[in-house]
Structure 1
Amino acid sequence: MKNMGVIFEIPNEYGNYLSDILQPLPINSYQWLIDNDEIHLLHDNQFTNEFLFSDDDRILSGERLYESSKNNTYYMVFVTLRAFSKDGIIKEVSQYEEFLASDCQIALAVCDCSYVMFWCKDSQLVSDMYKYAVSKSYKNINYISEEDLIAHKYYIE
């Protein structure tokens, strides 16, 4: 049984949790497709009318993604990120079979403010993410096996 991902819960509060989640990944090695996001910026602990990513920010370098997510305070309702090698073909994928057949290397989704699902083609990064989630004391941390992804038709969206 091969582990293809990790699922866990982060605290349901404002902060910069996206940069925390991205920490164990070589994010600068990829270009990132941002999809389905609602991440509200805060200023002086008050919500603003701004979002972390604009509609023009759909494909970002790893550097820009990390800097935006690290240097702001926000409340993350949901977001879907997909990482592609810098010379890969960028396209939306939501089912596991599409993920495997694509140039997408990582798929990451946060939904309902705290549930994180992470898929990755690199088994070492899957293991690193699991260990990192444990080190951060996130809750309900579990591996997602390849069999789980096939049998349960998990979606990243």
Structure 2
Amino acid sequence: MRRGISFEIPNKYGRWLGEILKPIDIAAFDWQIGSGESYTVIDEQLDEELFSKERNVIEGAELKNRIEANQYYIISADLQAYPKNEVIRVETFEEFMESDCQLVLLVVDCIYVTIYCKNQETIELLNKNAITCRFKEIEYITNENDARTRLSVW
């Protein structure tokens, strides 16, 4: 069974989360923002954090605007998509499968992206999008090759 996909993005400023999530209706979900470190970029300089530490849940429309309208630099990111008003926090793949969480997006060390998704058609769309975006080292995450024990960046 395909659990998701993994790939590498360029280690530079951009709108990478918006590009990665292009096949997803971002606004249809509420998003749990976990620990991570991403900064907006203004005049080629790192500025304020992309995600506020005070808010750990963002409505999809706000997230969509934030990741598509701003240029930013991702060091790490941890996002989880839930149906509206049903946000909890999942920590393991087993919890993810038993929850209403639909997608988990993790970015580690600026370039390593892992996406877990319950919908097989969405996994395929994310894979095609990664190919179109010319991301590197694209592969499906399966029951056989998934070594991750926790769904977090730390």
TM > 0.5 fold call: yes
Following TM superposition, by how much is the alpha carbon of 1:44 offset from its aligned partner in structure 2, in angstroms? 0.6
- Within the alignment, does 1:64 sit opposite 2:59 as a pair? no
Distance in structure 1 (CA, Å) of the matches to 2:46 and 2:135: 25
- Within the alignment, does 1:32 sit opposite 2:31 as a pair? yes
- Within the alignment, does 1:54 sit opposite 2:49 as a pair? no
The RMSD of aligned alpha carbons is 1.3
Q: Deviations over 1:54-95 (max 9, x none)?
A: 12331111111010111111110001000001142x222121
Q: Compare the two structures and name the one with the higher strand fraction.
A: 1
Give structure 1 stretches of 5+ with no counterpart. none
- Within the alignment, does 1:8 sit opposite 2:7 as a pair? yes
Report the residue type matching 1:43 in the other structure. I
Change (3 A) 1:153 1:54: closer
Give structure 2 stretches of 5+ with no counterpart. none
TM-score normalised by L of structure 1:
0.91
Structure 2 partner of 1:127: 124
Distance in structure 1 (CA, Å) of the matches to 2:4 and 2:109: 19
TM-score normalised by L of structure 2:
0.93
Following TM superposition, by how much is the alpha carbon of 1:99 offset from its aligned partner in structure 2, in angstroms? 0.6
Distance in structure 2 (CA, Å) of the matches to 1:73 and 1:81: 18
- Conservation of the 8 A alpha-carbon contact between 1:11 and 1:138: yes
Structure 2 partner of 1:86: 84
